[in-house]
Amino acid sequence: MSKIHVTTTINGDPVEYLCDAEDTLLDVLRDHLGLTGSKEGCGTGDCGACSVTVDGRLVCACLMLGAEAAGHEIGTIEGMAKGDQLHPLQQKFIEHAALQCGICTPGILVAAKSLLDHNPDPSEEETRYWLAGNLCRCTGYDKIIRAVLDAAKDMREAS
Partner 1 sequence: MALDSKTDTKPQTFKVIGTRPLRPDGIDKVTGRARFGADMSAPGMLVGLVLRSPHAHARIRSIDTSAAEALTGVHAVVTRADFGPLRDEGTADVLDNCMAGDKALYDGHAVAAVAATSGKVARQALKLIKVDYQPLPHVTDVDAAMAPDAPALHEGRADETVPAGMSGNVMARHEFGHGDIDAGLSQADRVLERTYRTEATHQGYIEPHACLATMNSDGQADLWCCTQGHYMVRNTCAAILGLEQGQLRVTASEIGGGFGGKTTVFLEPVALKLSQKSGRPVKMVMSRAEVLRATGPTASSSIDVRIGMTRDGRITAGFAELRYQGGAYPGSPVDMGSMSAFAPYDLENVRTVGFDVVTNRPKQAAYRAPGAPMAAFAVESAIDELARGFGLDPLEVRLKNAAREGTRASYGPTYPAIGLEATLRTAKDHPHWSAPLGPNQGRGVACGFWFNFGGDTCVSLNITPDGTVTLSEGNPDIGGSRASMSMMAAEELGIPYDRVRTVIADTGSLGQNEVTDGSRVTFAVGLATIEAARAAKREMCKRAAQVWGIDEDAVIWEDGAARPAGPNAGQHPPMSLAEIAAIASNTGGPIAGHFEVNAEGAGVSFATHMVDTEVDPDTGAVKILRYTVFQDAGKAVHPSYVEGQFQGGAVQGIGWALNEAYIYGEDGILQNPGFLDYRIPVASDLPMIDTVILEIPNPGHPYGVRGVGETSIVPPLAAVANSVSDAAGVRMTSLPMSPPKLLAAIQSGTS
Partner 2 sequence: MQYLSPTTVDDAVRLLSSQTGDCKVLAGGTDLLVRMRSGFAEPDSILDIKRIDELRRIAHDDGGWRVGAAVSGAEMGEHADLVADWPGVVEAVNLIGSTQIQGRATMAGNLCNASPAADSVPAMIAAGAVARIAGPDGIRDIAVTDVPTGPGKTCLKPGEFITSIWLPSRPDRSGDAYLRFIPRTEMDIAVVGCAVALTLDAGGTCTAARVSLGAVAPTAILVDAAADTLIGTTVDDTALDALARACSDAAKPIADKRGTVEFRVHVAGVLAKRAAIIAKTRAGGAP
Residues that bind partner 1 in the complex, under the rule CB under 8 A: 20, 22, 30, 35-44, 46-47, 49, 76-78, 80-81, 86, 90-91, 93-97, 99-106, 109, 124-125, 127-129, 131-146
| Residue 1: Cβ-neighbour burial (10 angstroms; 0-12, 13-18, 19+) | exposed
Give the 3-state secondary structure percentages of the chain, helix then strand then coil, rounded to 5: 40, 20, 40
Rounded CA Rg of the chain:
16
Least separation in angstroms between residue 134's CB and partner 1 is 7
| 10 contact choice in partner 1, partner 2, none (CB below 5 to 8 Å, kind-dependent) | none
What residues form DSSP beta bridges with 59?
A: 52
- Using DSSP, state whether 93 is helix, strand or coil: helix
Cα separations in angstroms, 29 against 26, 64, 73, 147? 5, 11, 13, 27
Query: What is the C-alpha to C-alpha distance for residues 110 and 79, in angstroms, rounded to an integer?
Result: 10
- State which of residues 29, 62, 149, 151 lies at the interface with partner 2 (CB under 8 A): 62
- If the CB atoms of residues 71 and 140 are measured against partner 1, the closer one turns out to be 140
- State which of residues 15, 31, 32, 54 lies at the interface with partner 2 (CB under 8 A): 54
| 36 contact choice in partner 1, partner 2, none (CB below 5 to 8 Å, kind-dependent) | partner 1
Query: What is the C-alpha to C-alpha distance for residues 17 and 8, in angstroms, rounded to an integer?
Result: 9
| 60 contact choice in partner 1, partner 2, none (CB below 5 to 8 Å, kind-dependent) | partner 2
Q: Which of residues 13-32 bind partner 2 (CB under 8 A)?
A: 20-22, 24
| 129 near partner 2, rule: CB under 8 A | yes
Q: Which residue ranges make up the site for partner 2 (CB under 8 A)?
A: 4, 20-22, 24, 43-46, 48, 51, 54, 57-60, 62-65, 67-68, 111, 114-115, 129-134
